[in-house]
């Protein structure tokens, strides 16, 4: 793949170097990770203190994810127009404020309102950081999006142990307040060093390339008219459902299976199984994003998706069948995140490949809303479990969804996307109109 970057005399100096910008984005992502991946630690303590049902508490999680994802097209547009700094700065303040509000929440209504604030904040940071990476690295989209998303996936691993200990020793409200302040301040400070990326343009690869690129920059409206976008959207929603279920329900599942408090030894540490599982989950969730992004740069986006989607589905079924054993729980729960985490590197990369870099932040934000769509089923998982009396039907359905996505991505999306890009690029070379091929592919 060839790529060219418009000359910018500042981009290779100091913090204006694109790798420095990437590191800043990773730090910001790590600071908002706990809003999603640390949430499960607070579910049982809130339920015990106020008598709220798990399903009612998990409504807050769904609200958070919906606001985090469904508003990102607006936040992506703001990033495309004004640059990353103001969007991430405001997002960091809102994310920190949300956890501070959670520490004072004594009603479900206030908890839900805080989830709205946190979702807007986290979405502003997440969508902008990924969009920024796609624009700075048109030549390494998979790796750059993966490293950025790794901050979100692995960031919680750095703090899950101290948060769990603070919840146990000082109460969940103290943990909410303390880490809300820390996370919000860090994002606010480091966001001041972000700059708008230079204008970039990727040169389309030849026919038959591993990751074919478009020669056209699709506006969001044009992208939404293409069937390729909606098939990608469906596949991302299917895969996200399994991962979100694991992120939100792993603590309740561990408790119901009777393994959550089992002591586990690793080197010189002895930790409850749940705490150790969450740490490994977040590390794997972070590692898979740059790893699969890098792999997809070499063997193709769809081939990589096929592999990891199947891994996620089989891991969910493995948790269903063998999760009552502590060792099996410690294996299958992280494997779920190995498959789930990659959607946050591969789907942004394939979006940039297909629809161009100019509107990358906004276009990827529309695709990212698939995560919000998937979150709608999280409270239903608790209701289904309560109705059935076990997690078996929940995990059976959750495991089937990514496997269906794997079949669709290889049999439908891959040939459709390649045909669309070949048609567009051929028409670009001949100078004929390109919009019809995009809408009918």
Class of CATH domain 2-440: mainly alpha
Give me the percent of the chain exceeding a pLDDT of 70: 89
Residue 437 has pLDDT above 60, yes or no: no
Name the residue among 186, 150, 179 with its Cα closest to residue 34.
Answer: 179
* pLDDT for residue 142: 82
Classify residue 224 by burial, with Cβ atoms within 10 Å: 0-12, 13-18, 19+. middle
Task: Provide the angle, in degrees to the nearest 10, between the axes of the packed helices 108-136 and 141-155.
Answer: 150
At which residue do the structure tokens 């942004």 appear?
348
* pLDDT for residue 416: 94
422 Cβ partners below 8 Å, 6+ apart? 207, 212
* pLDDT for residue 245: 76
Who has greater pLDDT, 8 or 64?
64
At which residue do the structure tokens 């561990």 appear?
254
* pLDDT for residue 94: 97
Residue 72 has pLDDT above 90, yes or no: no
**What letters, b where the CB count within 10 A reaches 16 and e where it falls short, cover 156-180?**
bbbbbeebbebbeeeebbebbbbbb
The span from the CA of 182 to the CA of 189, in Å, is 11
Mean pLDDT of 369-384: 80
Who has greater pLDDT, 151 or 268?
151
- List pLDDT tens digits, range 294-345: 898 889 889 999 999 999 999 999 999 998 999 899 899 889 988 888 888 8
Give SS3 for 269.
strand
What token pair was written down for 408? 């669709």
Mean pLDDT of 77-86: 87
- List pLDDT tens digits, range 264-285: 776 667 778 888 888 788 788 7
Q: How many residues does the chain have?
A: 441
- List pLDDT tens digits, range 172-218: 999 999 999 999 999 999 999 998 877 554 454 545 567 777 878 89
Strand partners, 271: 264
Strand partners, 365: none
- The torsion angles phi and psi of 188, rounded to 5 degrees, stand at -60, -45
* pLDDT for residue 7: 42
- The torsion angles phi and psi of 351, rounded to 5 degrees, stand at -65, -45
Residue 372 has pLDDT above 90, yes or no: no
C-beta of residue 167 within 8 angstroms of C-beta of residue 49? no
Name the residue among 6, 25, 33, 8 with its Cα closest to residue 194.
Answer: 25
The span from the CA of 222 to the CA of 362, in Å, is 12
Mean residue pLDDT across the chain: 84
For 96-100, 126-130, 273-277, which range has the lowest pLDDT when averaged over its residues?
A: 273-277
- List pLDDT tens digits, range 382-436: 788 888 888 888 889 889 999 999 999 999 999 999 899 888 877 766 665 545 4
* pLDDT for residue 310: 94
For 244, the enclosing helix (H) or strand (E) is: helix 227-257
**What letters, b where the CB count within 10 A reaches 16 and e where it falls short, cover 372-396?**
bbbbebbbebbebbeeeeebeebbe
* pLDDT for residue 4: 39
* pLDDT for residue 271: 79
Among left, alpha and beta (phi > 0; psi -120 to 50; other), residue 214 is beta
The DSSP code for 204 is P
Report residue 157 CA to chain centroid gap.
15
* pLDDT for residue 381: 77
The span from the CA of 291 to the CA of 426, in Å, is 32
The span from the CA of 217 to the CA of 222, in Å, is 9
For 23-37, 50-64, 140-154, 284-298, which range has the lowest pLDDT when averaged over its residues?
A: 140-154
C-beta of residue 34 within 8 angstroms of C-beta of residue 183? yes
Q: For residues 23, 27, 29 and 32, what is the CA-based torsion angle, rounded to 10 degrees?
A: -170
- List pLDDT tens digits, range 12-56: 444 678 889 999 999 999 999 888 878 888 988 999 999 998 889
Tell me the C-alpha to C-alpha distance, in Å, between residue 317 and each of 6, 257, 313, 335, 371: 48, 15, 6, 11, 21
Who has greater pLDDT, 11 or 341?
341
- The torsion angles phi and psi of 275, rounded to 5 degrees, stand at -65, -45
Mean pLDDT of 340-365: 86
């Amino acid at each position: 793949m060839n790529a060219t970057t418009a000359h910018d005399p500042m981009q290779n100096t100091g913090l204006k170097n694109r790798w420095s910008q990437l590191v800043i984005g990773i730090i910001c992502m790590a600071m908002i990770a706990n809003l999603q991946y640390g949430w499960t630690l607070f579910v049982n303590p809130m339920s015990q203190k106020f008598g709220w049902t798990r399903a009612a508490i998990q409504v807050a999680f769904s609200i958070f994810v919906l606001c985090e994802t469904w508003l990102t097209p607006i936040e992506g547009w703001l990033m495309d127009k004004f640059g990353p700094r103001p969007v991430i700065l405001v997002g960091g303040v809102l994310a920190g404020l949300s956890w501070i509000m959670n520490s004072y929440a004594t009603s479900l209504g206030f908890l839900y309102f805080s989830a709205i604030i946190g979702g807007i904040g986290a979405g502003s940071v997440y969508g902008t950081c990924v969009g920024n990476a796609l624009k700075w690295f048109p030549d390494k989209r998979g790796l750059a999006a993966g490293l950025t998303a790794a901050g979100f996936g692995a960031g919680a691993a750095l703090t899950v142990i101290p948060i769990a200990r603070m919840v146990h020793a000082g109460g969940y409200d103290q943990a909410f307040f303390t880490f809300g302040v820390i996370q919000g301040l860090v994002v606010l400070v480091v966001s001041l060093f972000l700059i708008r990326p230079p204008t970039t343009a990727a040169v389309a690869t030849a026919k038959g390339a591993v990751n074919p690129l478009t020669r056209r920059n699709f506006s969001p409206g044009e992208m939404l008219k293409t069937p390729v976008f909606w098939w990608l959207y469906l596949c991302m929603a299917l895969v996200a459902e399994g991962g979100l279920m694991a992120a939100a329900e792993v603590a309740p599942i561990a408790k119901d299976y009777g393994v959550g408090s089992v002591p586990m030894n690793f080197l010189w540490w002895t930790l409850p199984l749940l705490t150790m599982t969450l740490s490994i989950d977040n590390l794997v969730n972070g590692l898979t994003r740059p790893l699969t992004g890098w792999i997809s740069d070499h063997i193709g986006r769809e081939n990589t998706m096929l592999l990891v989607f199947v891994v996620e589905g089989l891991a969910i079924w493995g948790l269903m069948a063998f999760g009552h054993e502590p060792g099996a729980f410690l294996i299958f729960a992280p494997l779920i995140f190995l498959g789930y985490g990659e959607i946050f590197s591969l789907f942004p990369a394939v979006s940039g490949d297909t629809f161009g870099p100019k509107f990358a932040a906004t276009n990827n934000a529309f695709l990212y809303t698939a995560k919000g769509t998937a979150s709608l089923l999280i409270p239903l998982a608790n209701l289904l479990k309560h109705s059935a009396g076990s997690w078996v039907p929940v995990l059976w359905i959750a495991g089937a969804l990514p496997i269906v996505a794997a079949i669709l991505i290889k049999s439908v999306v891959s040939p459709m996307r390649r045909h669309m890009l070949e048609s567009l690029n051929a028409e670009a070379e001949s100078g004929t109109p390109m919009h019809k091929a995009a809408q009918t592919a």
